[in-house]
Amino acid sequence: VNQVDDKPWATHIPLELDTDHDGSDILVGHIARANPQGKHFTENSTVLCIFNGPHSYISSSWYKKEEVPTWNYIAVHVYGKLSLLNEDEVMASMHKLVNKYEKASKNPITLEDMSSKTLRQVKGVIGFKIKIDDIQATYKLSQNRTEDHETIISELETIDDANACAIAQAMKKNTL
């Protein structure tokens, strides 16, 4: 998330955790050059990366006392300073990204196997790295409703939804 024309702007993209030359944690990614967000990337500007974990609706019908429903969630916010990658760094990050995700494929591809014509498409992206300054983990797991935890967990486990089940598991771990 950065500022574009005085508005927060977000693009949902993969970011890879890496380390830079001095051992600091960084996130590496890229966006399409046509994305308006990239035109507002400035060296050393502060950006926010949001990593959403599981989340689920919590019905107040699961409570012992009348109350409004709520939403439980787990998320991580990462703040850092952005810097742009040069062409060689972009290609290196693309190789790493493709190799990571292709290794599980039945017919994995590599950038080394692609024609120079196809690889020219990489010029259509803006590569960047973010030096991590601050990490804030946040969660809401009905901490204020300990008397209702057992019922909430039980109800979440009946829902055919991976997020609901993950929230139930996190609540179990959080109450042990």
Give the CATH number of the domain where residue 124 resides: 2.30.110.10
% of the chain with per-residue pLDDT over 70: 99
> Looking at residue 69, what is its pLDDT?
97
The closest alpha carbon to 111, from 138, 93, 135, belongs to 93
- The per-residue pLDDT for range 106-130, each reduced to its tens digit, is 999 999 888 888 888 888 999 999 9
Q: Looking at the DSSP assignment, which residues form a beta bridge with residue 84? A: 128
The mean of the pLDDT values for the chain is 94
What domain count does the chain have?
Answer: 1
Q: If you compute the radius of gyration of the chain from its CA atoms, what whole number of angstroms results? A: 21
The pTM for the full model equals 0.86
Whole-angstrom distance, CA of residue 2 vs CA of residue 131: 15
Say which DSSP state 161 is in.
Answer: -
> Looking at residue 120, what is its pLDDT?
86
With beta carbons less than 8 A apart as the criterion, state whether 40 and 4 touch.
Answer: yes
For 54, 58, 98, 161, the CA distances from 139, given in Å and listed in that order, are 10, 14, 32, 19
Supply 34's token pair.
């046509």
> Looking at residue 176, what is its pLDDT?
54
> Looking at residue 121, what is its pLDDT?
87
Domain containing residue 87 = 2-175
- The per-residue pLDDT for range 21-61, each reduced to its tens digit, is 999 999 999 999 999 999 899 899 999 999 999 999 999 99
